[in-house]
Amino acid sequence: MLCAVVFFGVVVATADTIVLKNGRRIVANNVREEGDKVKYETSAGELSLPKSIVDHIEKGGSVPMGDSPAAAAANLAITPPAMGAISGGAEIESGAVRDGAIDREYIAKLEAAAHAGDQRANAGAALAHHAAAQFELSRGDMERALADERTALTFSPEEPALLMNVAYLHLRRSEYKQSLDCLERARRVAPENADVAKLAGWAYYGMNKMDQAVAEWKRALALRPDPEVQTALDKAQRDKQEEESYKENESSHFTLRYTGSAEPALARDVLHTLEAHYSAIESELNFAPPDSIGVVLYTQEAFADITRAPGWVGALNDGRIRVPVQGLSGVTPELSRVLKHELTHSFVGQKTRGHAPTWIQEGLAQWMEGKRSGDNAVVLAQVFQEGHAASLGQLEGSWLGLQSDAAGYAYAWALANIEYIVQTDGMGDMERILDRIGSGSSTEAALREVLHSDYNDLMQSTAEYLRKTYGH
Ligand SMILES: [Zn+2]
């Protein structure tokens, strides 16, 4: 799942949300439909999903989406602050709003009195506009409510309750900065007011400033017990914990460790990249690994010393993804490819319960990272024609004993065979082959059932594909 992305900041209103049939939500930019694919942009580049697994797309509007704090903030159950009683207040309120409508004529009379210079009339005009605003709020007309509440404020600019009501309406409109401006003014007049702290906590929460939100809500509770604040505070503290665990290198699908010291920014970047790749591979293979995936970054110790892998191995996956990242402070395109390659191994490993042959593992991992056969095609076709091609049966077991040039050939040949299958029959066939291997078939039996070919047929077809596609 890509949901970890939301921890990297408040999801902005311009993003769209792709909702998959399995309920998963992917927040992305520039979501569009092209043929049978849904394409979208992420920090890791453009990705696509088969339309068949997409339920619907929610286009970005003015309201933040997903599980972001901003979305949660917009839905906080917090009631507007109460207006203190003023003498004659009830009469003014029932004059301003009567028979289910606002009496603008009545309000205009109060305004006229206020403009004539009567101090008490100012309070009356303010209260009348406030009553109108409350009525509009009750009907969900946030814009008119805000206009009336702001007008009320012009008659009583220092009234904390009006400042807080304007702040409240901004909060309901997810306008956190404007809300805080009003609350600062209210705090100058009423520093010990619990509602000011309550609403300020909401504003910070919406801005994803969890420390400040927690501080304000604790302050509000110290001034006055309030179940709404308690609920909001509990939620903020849970969010804060989640965010901290992310900084400690965990995301939805990964646990990250590193030897030596790594830049925290690199660790976050790596997790972010892995989550994006996870999402892409998940939709290609139509499968999500049930187990969390361990990742180890090697920053100082020589990678080869610890992993005992031959020199030609750059990174490896022995159940955990192990990647040397010496000297890097962020994810380069090369590192991103390596991560996607190794992550593919985790998917294939879990999908086949560890029974995938090495040529499928390495062929598919290279395909997913974006490698194609172009450069090697002519040589591979020639080796096959001369009868020297390694049989896929020989490439089923471990390659760690191979010399570097033999390994290079094995990788290229594995990629060519996978490329032929995917280009000819689509990833769906690959997926079915993996499923059969996972339920106990031998690889060749799985090929026979899905592709109706054995190893020899497949290699023959692959050599022909290479000649046709890349030959001169
Ligand atoms: Zn590999």
How high is the pLDDT of residue 308?
62
Chain center to CA of 80: 32
Q: How far apart are CA 336 and CA 234, in angstroms?
A: 37
Where does the pLDDT of residue 370 fall: very low under 50, low under 70, confident under 90, or very high at 90 and above? Answer: very high
Report CA dihedral (234, 267, 263, 304) to the nearest 10 degrees. 150
Distance 359 CA to ligand 1 centre (A): 10
Query: Is the pLDDT score of 94 beyond 60?
Result: yes
Query: Is the pLDDT score of 61 beyond 50?
Result: no
pTM exceeds 0.75, yes or no? no
Q: Which of 26-35, 116-125, 369-378 has the lowest mean pLDDT?
A: 26-35
Contacts of 54 (CB under 8 A, 6+ apart): 18, 19, 20, 21, 38
Contact of 461 with 319, CB cutoff 8 Å: no
Contact of 271 with 256, CB cutoff 8 Å: yes
3-state secondary structure labels for all residues of the chain = CCHHHHHHCCCCCCCEEEEECCCCEEEEEEEEEECCEEEEEECCEEEEEEHHHEEEEECCCCCCCCCCHHHHHHCCCCCCCCCCCCCCHHHHHHHHEECCEECHHHHHHHHHHHHCCCHHHHHHHHHHHHHHHHHHHHCCCHHHHHHHHHHHHHHCCCCHHHHHHHHHHHHHCCCHHHHHHHHHHHHHHCCCCHHHHHHHHHHHHHCCCHHHHHHHHHHHHHHCCCHHHHHHHHHHHHHHHHHHHHHCCECCCEEEEEECCCCHHHHHHHHHHHHHHHHHHHHHHCCCCCCCEEEEEECCCCHHHHHCCCCCCCCEECCEEEEECCCCCCCCHHHHHHHHHHHHHHHHHHHCCCCCCHHHHHHHHHHHHCCCCHHHHHHHHHHHHCCCCCCCCCCCCCCCCCCHHHHHHHHHHHHHHHHHHHHHHCHHHHHHHHHHHHCCCCHHHHHHHHHCCCHHHHHHHHHHHHHHHHCC
Contact of 103 with 97, CB cutoff 8 Å: yes
Q: What is the mean pLDDT of residues 19-44?
A: 68
Q: Which of 78-82, 164-168, 464-468 has the lowest mean pLDDT?
A: 78-82
pLDDT tens column, 258-271: 766 667 778 888 99
Across the chain, what does the average pLDDT equal?
83
Contact of 183 with 206, CB cutoff 8 Å: no
Distance 373 CA to ligand 1 centre (A): 16
Tokens of 468: 């046709």
Q: How far apart are CA 333 and CA 238, in angstroms?
A: 34
Measured between alpha carbons, how far is residue 201 from residues 62, 73, 260 in Å?
22, 10, 39
Q: Which of 12-21, 110-119, 207-216, 390-399 has the lowest mean pLDDT?
A: 12-21
Distance 188 CA to ligand 1 centre (A): 63
Query: Is the pLDDT score of 223 beyond 80?
Result: yes
Nearest to 107 by CA among 118, 119, 121: 121
Question: Of the segments 41-55, 115-129, 197-211, 434-448, which one has the largest average pLDDT value?
Answer: 434-448
Nearest to 178 by CA among 154, 209, 148, 199: 199
Q: Which residue has the tokens 């925290």?
A: 264
Q: What is the mean pLDDT of residues 247-257?
A: 76
Query: Is the pLDDT score of 245 beyond 60?
Result: no
Query: Is the pLDDT score of 6 beyond 50?
Result: no
How high is the pLDDT of residue 141?
84
Distance 335 CA to ligand 1 centre (A): 13
Distance 82 CA to ligand 1 centre (A): 64
Contact of 288 with 282, CB cutoff 8 Å: yes
Distance 345 CA to ligand 1 centre (A): 7
Query: Is the pLDDT score of 7 beyond 80?
Result: no
Determine how many CB atoms are found less than 10 A away from the CB of residue 224: 13
- 408 or 72: which carries more pLDDT confidence? 408
Query: Is the pLDDT score of 22 beyond 80?
Result: no
Nearest to 391 by CA among 366, 413, 371: 413
Contact of 449 with 441, CB cutoff 8 Å: yes
Nearest to 271 by CA among 263, 283, 261: 263
Where does the pLDDT of residue 43 fall: very low under 50, low under 70, confident under 90, or very high at 90 and above? Answer: very low
Query: Is the pLDDT score of 17 beyond 50?
Result: yes
Beta strands across the sheet bearing 16-20 = 45-50, 37-42, 25-34, 16-20, 54-58
Q: How far apart are CA 242 and CA 238, in angstroms?
A: 6
Q: How far apart are CA 364 and CA 118, in angstroms?
A: 82
Distance 363 CA to ligand 1 centre (A): 8
Tokens of 419: 């490329």
Distance 341 CA to ligand 1 centre (A): 6
Nearest to 207 by CA among 75, 73, 77, 78: 73
Distance 307 CA to ligand 1 centre (A): 14
pLDDT tens column, 163-188: 999 999 998 887 888 999 999 999 99
Distance 310 CA to ligand 1 centre (A): 13
Distance 266 CA to ligand 1 centre (A): 22
Distance 361 CA to ligand 1 centre (A): 7
Distance 352 CA to ligand 1 centre (A): 16
Q: Which amino acid is at 127?
A: L
Q: What is the mean pLDDT of residues 367-385?
A: 93
Beta strands across the sheet bearing 320-324 = 254-259, 293-298, 320-324, 316-317
- 352 or 50: which carries more pLDDT confidence? 352
Tokens of 222: 């110290």
| Cα-based angle 46, 50, 55 (whole degrees, multiple of 5) | 105
How high is the pLDDT of residue 262?
63
Nearest to 273 by CA among 371, 365, 339: 339
Q: What is the mean pLDDT of residues 340-362?
A: 94
Distance 358 CA to ligand 1 centre (A): 9
Q: In this structure, are strands 37-42 and 101-102 parallel, antiparallel, or unpaired?
A: unpaired
Q: In this structure, are strands 293-298 and 254-259 parallel, antiparallel, or unpaired?
A: parallel
Q: What is the mean pLDDT of residues 101-108?
A: 93
Q: Which of 65-69, 90-94, 229-233 has the lowest mean pLDDT?
A: 65-69
- 52 or 184: which carries more pLDDT confidence? 184
Distance 276 CA to ligand 1 centre (A): 19
Query: Is the pLDDT score of 451 beyond 90?
Result: yes
How high is the pLDDT of residue 211?
87
How high is the pLDDT of residue 4?
22
Distance 348 CA to ligand 1 centre (A): 11
Query: Is the pLDDT score of 209 beyond 60?
Result: yes
How high is the pLDDT of residue 310?
67
- 220 or 290: which carries more pLDDT confidence? 220
Q: Which amino acid is at 88?
A: G
